[in-house]
Amino acid sequence: MTHSMPTDLSRRGFAALFASAAAAGAVPASLWPAVSRAAEPQLIPKLRIFIPANEGGGWDQTGRALGAAMVASGAVGDVAYENLGGKGGTIGLAKYVEKYDADPDTLLMSGMVMVGAVALQKPAITLAQVAPVARLTSDYEVVAVKADSPIKTPKDLIAQLRTDAAKTVIAGGSAGGVDHMYAGMLARVAGNAGALVYQPHPGGAQVVEALESGKAAAGISGYSEFSEQLASGKLRAIGVSAKRPFQGIPSVREQGVDADLANWRGVLTGKKVTAERRAVLLEAVRRATTAEVWQKTIKRNNWDSYWMAGKDFESFLDLDTAMAGPLIYLLKLKA
């Protein structure tokens, strides 16, 4: 006797039937996750991820990893990427609001770097013109020096900042971003935040070049952007901004310098995109973060999964934005 499946049974209905069968023991539990994912419907045929940074940096890595996971999870059919870097993401933010404010199929990569850059530069277009979707990852700041540098520990760096701040150039990402903030925190510990000489760069590759060429005494960036040079021995990590050791690197705090900071990355959408569409975008992002390819990328890049959505993320973003201005003033950061 053969059985045929009703032709009008939706994939969602099939998933529900399969769940019932699995619960009753009729289907091996090991088969359930794969069939469940396959049964989930595609949410968005085509999506664009707008990355307000150059290719190769942290935002670009995160955006492209998210897009790949969206496709792999079946939530999205196809993903296109658009990069526009400069000034801590504020140039890209302005272009996104101009072009995609009401576009239901375009997400914007963002994070703490953009929050700080907006506070420092005070551009016409701010984060008030976009809407939060989800926070995805957390990344820590690695402080690195050239392999043959006389700076061996964070205390050595603090001592050098005290004695000759003008020659102790610190290289990092865009002005006002998380790298700049962390440099300011170190200079504040040294007691001369106003004398900090900070050298902003559009991406991690340029920070590495500044260190290797001797143009900077120390560099600050995410672990993933330094990992290749650390592994090859060209650069040496003297500390990480986490509260505990990370990837075998001792924390700056545990070495006697009271300065820790975490960077975050996430996605936003246009202010004119409807609440209903935002919910669809959020579900596509949520499904992507459960995909195996996303989990592998998180592990490979040594990011921390840092999921937050809905009202929680809205409140977090409001607080982060409100705190950025006073922090930049306190650290005496300059554009």
What average pLDDT does this structure show over 99-118? 96
For the stretch 259-272, pLDDT in tens is 989 899 999 999 99
User: Which segments of the chain belong to CATH 3.40.190.150?
Assistant: 44-138+263-330
Checking if the pLDDT of 20 tops 80, the result is no
Please count the other Cβ atoms lying within 10 Å of the Cβ belonging to residue 248: 8
Q: Residue 33 has what pLDDT? A: 42
For the stretch 59-75, pLDDT in tens is 999 999 999 999 999 99
Closest CA to 141 of 54, 5, 257, 50: 257
Q: Residue 3 has what pLDDT? A: 39
Q: Residue 40 has what pLDDT? A: 84
Closest CA to 171 of 180, 162, 163: 180
Checking if the pLDDT of 120 tops 80, the result is yes
Checking if the pLDDT of 6 tops 80, the result is no
Q: What is the dihedral of CA 150, 153, 154, 160, to 10 degrees?
A: -30
Closest CA to 105 of 85, 83, 82: 82
For the stretch 197-208, pLDDT in tens is 999 998 888 999
Is residue 27 very low, low, confident or very high in pLDDT (cuts 50, 70, 90)?
A: very low
Q: Residue 39 has what pLDDT? A: 60
Counts for the chain of helices (H) and strands (E), in that order: 12, 10
| Third-level CATH fold of 44-138+263-330 | D-Maltodextrin-Binding Protein; domain 2 (3.40.190)
Closest CA to 172 of 141, 193, 151, 148: 141
CATH no. of 140-255: 3.40.190.10
More confident residue, 313 or 56: 313
- pTM score of the predicted model: 0.78
For 307, the enclosing helix (H) or strand (E) is strand 304-309
Closest CA to 263 of 153, 173, 194: 173
Find out whether 287 and 135 touch, Cβ atoms under 8 Å: no
Checking if the pLDDT of 9 tops 50, the result is no
User: Which segments of the chain belong to CATH 3.40.190.10?
Assistant: 140-255
- CA 87/CA 113 separation, integer angstroms: 10
- Give the rounded percent of residues in the chain with a pLDDT score beyond 90: 74
Checking if the pLDDT of 4 tops 70, the result is no
